[in-house]
């Protein structure tokens, strides 16, 4: 597994979903001649429930081919089965990523890994939606076992039943744990899916780079409020470029002293507990208010 050594963050950017050829090309051209390395666009979109937009499908791959031809940017898509891999490779896609819903299924991961056997493309594996380091490691090992040399991971946060500040809890200790297990594995941070809110993307990106993550994957749209999926978390191309200009990055070997890393990990856990504690107090207050209203409506004595 090879590190990404570019002297700057490895940046993947583009819309959550490819919506039209015009939209894809417009965004890609706005990212040309910037610090962006790879243009991303979702072609197949796994959705929790049927009836939502599930991606433009195979025809969107030809749009990515035009992006590559016209801008020189590499391209990236999510693949969720061997057929997706076949079609992506046929259309010269450079980077394939495995989504968090796919990572939870070892059988599916193995099928995709088999389809990728020996290819030269970079493969990035998102963490599973649940905070399970072993499951994430297992997915990486399945691809490594198929002679994939350009492997990497994407930290996109973890689902939480409790309401928290972010769409997905960052739980930084898990990707830091992954780095301890695989010190040569590049780890890319996805602030868009962690945040769920474009206003939080910059601060999260800065935190990730302070922890020596190798790069960022940021959803970027030319009209975010009208996006067909994940509208709230996408940023304008000009906002992305301004953020990248202001983010600091430590050049050189990406490593932290173990004691400093542990202190940061514990500090993040304290912050998480503070957020959870605040939510508990708010929920307690709401429940007491509901109890009070029911008692008042039913004329129940306060001591009951």
DSSP letters for 189-240: E-HHHHHSSGGGHHHHHHHHHHTT-SEEEEEB-SSGGG-SS-GGG-B-HHHH
Contact 36, 72 (CB under 8 A): no
Q: Where are the domains of the chain?
A: 10-255, 258-304
Residue 273 is predicted with a pLDDT of: 67
Contact 84, 115 (CB under 8 A): no
Residue 266 is predicted with a pLDDT of: 67
**242-280: buried (b, 16+ CB within 10 Å) or exposed (e) per residue?**
ebbeebebeeeebebeeeebeebbeebeeebeebeeeee
At 62, list the tokens.
């030809």
Contact 23, 242 (CB under 8 A): no
Q: How many helices (H) and strands (E) does the chain have?
A: 11, 8
Tell me the per-residue pLDDT of 31-79, one tens digit each, with 9 for 90 and over. 998 899 999 999 998 877 787 788 899 999 999 999 999 999 999 999 9
Residue 1 has pLDDT above 60, yes or no: no
Mean pLDDT within 187-203:
96
Number of Cα atoms under 13 Å in the Cβ half of residue 87: 17
- Which helix or strand (DSSP H or E) is residue 72 part of? none
Considering the domain 10-255, what is its CATH architecture? Alpha-Beta Barrel (3.20)
pTM, full prediction: 0.83
Residue 286 is predicted with a pLDDT of: 79
Neighbours of 71 (CB within 10 A): 18
Distance from C-alpha of 168 to C-alpha of 196, rounded to nearest angstrom? 8
Contact 214, 9 (CB under 8 A): yes
At 292, list the tokens.
């009070």
Tell me the per-residue pLDDT of 114-157, one tens digit each, with 9 for 90 and over. 999 999 999 999 999 999 999 999 999 999 999 999 999 999 99
Residue 8 is predicted with a pLDDT of: 79
3-state secondary structure of 97: strand
Strands (E), the chain: 10-14, 38-40, 74-78, 95-98, 122-126, 151-155, 187-189, 215-219
């Amino acid at each position: 597994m090879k590190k990404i050594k570019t002297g700057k963050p490895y940046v993947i950017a583009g819309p959550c979903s490819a919506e039209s050829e015009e939209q894809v090309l417009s965004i890609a051209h706005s990212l040309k001649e910037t610090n962006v390395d790879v243009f991303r666009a979702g072609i197949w979109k796994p959705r929790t429930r049927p009836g939502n937009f599930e991606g433009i499908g195979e025809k969107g791959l030809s749009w990515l081919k035009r992006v590559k031809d016209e801008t020189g940017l590499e391209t990236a898509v999510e693949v969720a089965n061997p057929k997706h891999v076949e079609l992506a490779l046929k259309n010269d896609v450079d980077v394939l990523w495995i989504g968090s819903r796919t990572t939870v299924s070892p059988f599916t991961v193995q099928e995709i890994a088999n389809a990728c056997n020996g290819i030269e493309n970079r493969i990035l594996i998102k963490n599973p939606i649940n905070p399970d380091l072993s499951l994430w490691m297992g997915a990486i090992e399945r691809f490594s076992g198929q002679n994939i040399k350009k492997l990497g991971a994407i930290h996109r946060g973890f689902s939480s039943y409790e309401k928290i500040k972010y769409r997905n809890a960052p739980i930084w200790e898990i990707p830091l744990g992954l780095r301890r297990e695989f010190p040569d594995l590049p780890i890319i941070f996805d602030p868009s899916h962690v945040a769920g809110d474009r206003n939080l993307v910059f601060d999260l990106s800065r935190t990730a780079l302070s922890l020596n993550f190798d790069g960022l994957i940021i959803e970027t749209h030319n009209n975010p409020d009208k996006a067909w999926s994940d509208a709230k978390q996408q940023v304008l191309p000009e906002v992305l470029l301004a953020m990248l200009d202001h983010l600091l990055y430590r050049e050189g070997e990406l490593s932290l002293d173990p004691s400093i890393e542990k202190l940061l990990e514990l500090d993040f856990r304290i912050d998480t507990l503070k957020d959870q504690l605040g939510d508990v107090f708010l929920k307690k207050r709401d429940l007491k208010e509901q109890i009070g209203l029911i008692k008042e409506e039913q004329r129940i004595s306060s001591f009951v």
